[in-house]
Structure 1
Amino acid sequence: MAETQQTMTEFTYATGETGIVGDRFSPSVVLFWLRTSVAASSMRVIYKSPNTLLGVIPLGSSTQTIPLRNIASVDTNTKFNPGLFVWGVVFFVAGLACLSDSAAVGILLILLAAANLANTMSA
């Protein structure tokens, strides 16, 4: 008989689900507070990823449950997010412009720029 494993995710499992395995991870080293959860059981695969405002502020999440019998293939995807790139450039230029007037605001904007630019490529 298969034994149910404890997972590090926040998902609720149905009675009878076995072989539960899952983990939480951060897809970005810079944005460590944005964590994605993935879990699999004998019946389904579940994942939950955060939605963000300006690429850095968590604002809700997106959850999807996929029954195992509906999985026909597995894909990987690498993409460039032009929105995050533009916001990163805007924050960087604004941060440089603000450095002479208010160093704290300038540094904050440059940090936001760095976070956005670091997340322009995702996999």
Structure 2
Amino acid sequence: MRILPTLLATLSLGASLAAPAAASVGTAAAQTTVVIEDFRFVPRSVTVNAGDSVRWINNDNADHTTTSDGPGWDSGELPPGSSFTHTFTTQGTFTYHCSIHPDMTGSVTVQ
């Protein structure tokens, strides 16, 4: 009669091993690119999801910054060919400018 409990325990273990694992469902964070060229941000406005990042690439022939108008981020001076990335975790609209050329402006809307 010891065979029956052992057989049942083996079948139970086999069934739990054969059960598929629960898949984790999530969305991978995305990255949006803003190009700095001709003394402007292109595109000037972008929309991203919370958790996504924006990468600014300086394709101009002068140094620029991407500096939040409020608390947030400041890339510091970006020489031509360099880039800066910021991850947005809070929903809202965030305006920014180039601190070297204040007439250069843009915005990031986070959903």
Normalising by structure 2, what TM-score? 0.28
Larger radius of gyration: 2
Answer 1 or 2: which has greater strand percent: 2
Answer 1 or 2: which has greater helix percent: 1
